[in-house]
Amino acid sequence: MLQILFITAAAALLFLPLQLQWWKTPFFRKWLLSRYVIGLVYGFALFYVGLLDQSLTAIITYYLPIVGISLIADNTLVFTFKKTFRKQTAVKGAGIGILLLVGFFIFWTIQPLFLADEKYDIAGGEEVTVEDLPPVSEEHIPVVPLSFARYRSDVLMGQLENPAFYNLGETRIQRIDGTLYWVTPIEYDGLFRWYRSSAVPGYITVNAENPRSEPELVQVEMKYVPSAFFHENLERRVRLAYPEVLMLDTTFEVDGDGNPFYIVSYGHYTEFRRVADVDGIIIVDPVTGDMEQYAKEEAPEWVNRIYPPHIAQERNQWFGVYKQGLINRYIGREGLTEPTAWGTEDAVVGVIDRDLQLNWFTDHMRLTGEGESSQSMVGFTMFDARTGELRYFRDASGMLNGRTAMNLAERTFVRDDYVAGSPSLYNIYGQYTWVVPLMDKNGVLRQIMLVNASSESVYGYGESKQEAFRSYQLALTSRIDDDVIPGEITDLVEITAAVTRVYKWDREDNVTVRMLLEGSDRIFTVNASAFPRAVFIEAGDEITIRFMDTGEEIQAIEELDF
């Protein structure tokens, strides 16, 4: 706090006139105190209200134009009201002010044109293949969309004693004790509700893996939150303790024991406030207000995200358009890509890898001109939310992009008028696969659809995750060709056994055969469209099957001999 007061008081001196005649003339001298007070108010608005970092570049950026305007105004006023003031001196003083303003404007406008290489270097994308994206188990693929999680959280808010006092905060996906949840802190609904309340009542969790799981309201009184005011505002509390850091993002997270914390990502600017980099995090206890600072390499394991989504978004943009410098960006346009615009509020989507670590995902399409659109992706990226590592999967080139997957899902349920949520791309059964949630107009999750990124004709859906995966598995075994499989498929397991029971399900223009085999408690399934002789299988027949072992109760057969 003392540093903020000192910098504010010192910077307010720049509001005083640099024209000496102001100090010598009684008529002007009486305004000196008023100008200094204006400078104090300006600094208070920047550093206390606006939470601006107190760095040298910030002071230059926000105070240099003030000096230029003062020189122009002071010399003009002195020349106007003091007849003995020489015109040449007034023109010189005002000219310096004009040069400061024009020079600063030109620098601020032109400088970004010379930062293409720097932006591409800090993005640091590495080209990888599907082998670097191991298959994710069905259990841990999140299928509950953000909008549905907020809908269920909003319903649960009605249990509060004074629900009109509060709003839902920002909802983010995170790992808690080995399971993925959407976690939403409760926030104040304005100044007067904050004044009448001693603390917000807690946070809400919604299971992201199971849409049928009930949401939970965790009651804990949190005093220091982003929606509080004055000394209880969480970000202001951080700013007063760390006045020099660049605060990049604030997110709510829960540790393995269910204790709530706010994570403030901090860093610094390079290239004169044009390129932001992350240095670490400040963990704030919203109950006590205690804070602890960590470098990004030393952050606790339970912290899911250190790099905020807007950093991931801009680095994806830089990686795509600045691969060969600025000139190629606007003239040659060789090999350039851009993140796909999905038409949602999420430019990047949080997805989970095999180790349940958070990544910011977005797919890339070719760089198009104004009015053009692309239906396929040229690759996609995974941006590690803890390390900032950006991986580019080029081997997905030519596959369906996220926007196309959403359109396909909505067309499939056009009669129901369902709306597709933000899609996520995973390696499922050795295939690049879009997972698309579908909701009704009220935001209620109705269907989960899996769309093969190589072929829009291969998809599956269901009201539950298990049903959607089984449907997709059947579609893969009966309709996909070997030449559309990206990368090497998982090794097949072979079993030779007698059929103990068989069930044949005639579904529209196809027959699905399900079997129980001797020595196994799993259900094996195959489509007659892929293996026409399967319809003649009877109990007691000995068959040989080969399949990708996904560990599921219902297992699709890849190859069949009998």
Of 521, 527, 494, give the one whose Cα is nearest residue 508.
527
pLDDT reported for residue 499: 94
What pLDDT, on the 0 to 100 scale, is given for residue 483? 44
Q: What is the DSSP string of 248-300?
A: EEEEEEE-TT--EEEEEEEEEEETTTTEEEEEEEEEE-TTT--EEEEEGGG--
Longest dimension (CA), the chain: 117
Residue-wise pLDDT tens digits, 247-265? 999 999 999 889 999 999 9
Residues composing the chain? 562
* pLDDT bucket at 482, cuts 50 / 70 / 90: very low
> What is the mean predicted confidence (pLDDT) over 162-174?
91
Report residue 486's pLDDT band, with 50, 70 and 90 as the boundaries: very low
Query: Which residue is it, tokens 């946070």?
Result: 203
Q: Could you tell me where the beta strands, DSSP code E, fall in 271-344?
A: 275-284, 291-295, 337-339
CA distance 48 to 58: 14
Give the pLDDT band (50/70/90) at residue 347.
Answer: confident
Q: How confident is residue 418, by pLDDT bands cut at 50, 70 and 90?
A: very high
Strands 523-527 and 542-547: unpaired
Q: What is the domain partition of the chain in residue ranges?
A: 2-114, 145-306, 310-400, 402-484, 493-561
Q: What is the mean pLDDT of the chain?
A: 87
Is the pLDDT reported for residue 372 higher than 70?
no
pLDDT computed for residue 101 by the predictor = 96
Look at residue 113 in the predicted model and tell me its pLDDT. Answer: 85
The torsion angles phi and psi of 451, rounded to 5 degrees, stand at: -120, 125
Three-point CA angle 222, 225, 228, nearest 5°: 110
Q: Is residue 356 within 8 Å of 348, Cβ to Cβ?
A: no
Using CA atoms, how far residue 416 sits from 180, 411, 443, in Å, is 29, 10, 13
Taking only the tens place, the pLDDT of each residue in 113-127 is 889 889 999 998 888
From residue 497, alpha-carbon distances to 501, 557, 558, 560 in Å are 12, 14, 16, 12
Return the CATH number of 493-561, one of 1.20.120.450, 2.40.50.1070, 1.10.1450.10, 2.40.50.140.
2.40.50.140
What pLDDT sits at residue 140? 79
pLDDT at 229 over 90: yes
pLDDT of 276-287, one tens digit each?
999 999 999 999
Residues 6+ away with beta carbon under 8 Å from 297: none
Q: Please, what is the end-to-end C-alpha distance for the chain in angstroms?
A: 80
CB neighbours of residue 113 within 10 Å: 9
Over residues 137-160, the pLDDT tens digits come to 677 788 888 888 999 999 998 888
Q: What is the pLDDT of residue 472?
A: 87
Q: What is the pLDDT of residues 391-411, one digit of tens each?
A: 998 877 778 888 888 999 999
